[in-house]
Every structure is written in structure tokens, then in C-alpha cells.
Amino acid sequence: MDLRARLRNVLWIGGGTGAGKSSVAIVLAERHGLTRYNYDWHDARDHTERTHADRHPHRAAFLAMTLDERWLLRAPREIADETIDMFGERFEMVIEDLLAMPEYPPVIADGFGLLPELVCPIIESPRQAMFLLPTPAFRMVALERRGWGSVEETSDPGRARENRLARDALLTDHIRGRAAALGLAAIDLDGSRSLADVAGTVEQHFAPGMP
């Protein structure tokens, strides 16, 4: 199957944690009648159950760890590298999900795991992808607002939060570098722009694929 042709109906929003990917996707989906594919929701729904050690060794190993092993007993660089490996393994599930969806209306996919190097081979045009890159301060505000997740359940939440922030900064740098190398659009966000403004910029970029 020619995935570029089959998935030409998909618009991709990737980027760092706390950048507002989901918020932008919701605005554009509601405005243009797009079908939304949220990476985190689908992961929580059944990606864990679809993980098999032979096909997804990094993801399987991560799922077998305690929370302290995930966030406290390794350096941020190791955690970031493992996260990138897991995103690669999980992307096949994303493709399976998208292929099961109708081709119309167009789909807007948003999520942390939609890395430039994964998306680039399956898009026909760079106008199908945009990456949102938060500054560390903007990310901190976003995480304080929405909650830190599983790091709070470790034996040392303070240090786990520090490791989480360091990992996320490394991943944002990775996304920035890969997007630039592949000629894909990215926006740096420091919290000074409104959601409407950011959504408008992404909307203009996606215009050729909008209904």
C-alpha cells in the first residue's frame, strides 16, 4: 500500500509536551469539521494491550518497570533515548488506527509521539505537518496546570519532576533538529501568543489540506 497516498487526508501536529498541540487540534477540528486523532487517547485506549515484546521491545520493557525505575534510576538522556525508541515502535499502531478511519472528512492527528522522522516518510507535502516547540518556562506552566502524571507517584516526586523536565527538553531539541533537517515547519512558543493566534498560524499552514 502507498501510505503517502492513502494518508494524504491526515494533518499532523507534533511537538514537545505542554505546547498546546491538543488545544490547537480541537480548535481546527471544530472549525473545519475534521476528525481528530489524539495520540494519548488512543494509547490509553488499547496501545498497551497491543504491545508485544517481540515487536515492541522498548515499550514492553518500559511497561514492566516500576515508576522509580522509569523516572529516578536512570539519567534523563537515557530516558529520552528510550522514549524516542518507544515512539518508533508505537507509530505502527498509529498507522493501523489511521488506516481504519474513513478517508473523509480529513483527520487531524496530534500527539507527543508524532516525531518528524516518523511523519515525514508518509506525507505527500510538508504542508501536512507542523511541530510546536515550547520553551522550558512555558512547559513548566503547562505541566503545573494540568498535572505531572506518574512522576508524582514515585518515591521522590521532586527529583522525578526534574528528570521529567530534562527529558522533555531533550526531546524538544530532538524534534526541533529533525524538523529542520527534514524541511518541516515548527513554531517556538513561549506563552506570549494566544491559542487563537497559534491556531491561526497552524490553520494557514494546513490550508491546502482543509476541506
**pLDDT tens readout for residues 59-95:** 999 999 999 999 999 999 999 999 999 999 999 999 9
pLDDT of residue 71: 96
130: alpha, beta or left, given left = phi > 0 and alpha = psi -120 to 50? beta
The amino acid at 176 = R
Number of CB atoms found within 10 A of residue 94's CB: 24
Tens-digit pLDDT profile for residues 93-118: 999 999 999 999 999 999 999 999 99
Q: How far apart are CA 97 and CA 85, in angstroms?
A: 19
pLDDT over threshold 90, residue 46: no
- Confidence class for position 49, pLDDT limits 50, 70, 90: confident
Please report, in angstroms and rounded to a whole number, the separation of the first and last CA atoms in the chain: 24
pLDDT of residue 79: 97
Q: Phi and psi at residue 135, in whole multiples of 5°?
A: -70, 160
pLDDT of residue 43: 79
Sole residue written with cell 498546546:
20
pLDDT over threshold 80, residue 44: no
pLDDT of residue 198: 98
Per-domain residue ranges of the chain: 3-209
Name the CATH code of domain 3-209 (choices 3.40.50.300, 2.40.10.340, 3.30.70.2660, 3.40.718.10). Answer: 3.40.50.300
pLDDT over threshold 90, residue 146: no
Q: Phi and psi at residue 204, in whole multiples of 5°?
A: -65, -40
Q: Phi and psi at residue 36, in whole multiples of 5°?
A: -95, 135
Mean pLDDT of the chain: 95
Secondary structure of residue 11 in the 3-state scheme: strand
What are the start-end ranges of the E strands in the chain?
10-15, 35-38, 107-110, 129-134, 185-189
- Confidence class for position 193, pLDDT limits 50, 70, 90: very high
- Confidence class for position 155, pLDDT limits 50, 70, 90: very high
